[in-house]
Amino acid sequence: MENVVLTIHLILALCLIGVVLLQRSEGGGLGMGGGGGGGAMSGRAAATALTKLTWIFAICFIATSLTLTLIAAGNASGSSVINQFGGSQPSPAAPEAPLGTDLLPPVPTDAPLTPPRADDVAVPPAPDAPATAPTPAPATGN
User: 20-50: per-residue pLDDT in tens?
Assistant: 998 877 665 554 555 555 555 566 776 788 8
Q: Among residues of the chain, what percentage have pLDDT more than 70?
A: 44
pTM above 0.85? no
Whether the Cβ atoms of residue 25 and residue 34 lie closer than 8 Å to each other: yes
Percent of the chain exceeding pLDDT 90 equals 27
The pLDDT-based confidence of 68 (bands split at 50, 70, 90) is very high
- DSSP label at 23? S
Higher pLDDT, 92 or 73: 73
Average pLDDT, the chain: 74
Q: How many CB atoms lie within 10 A of CB 68?
A: 15
Q: Where are the domains of the chain?
A: 1-24+48-73
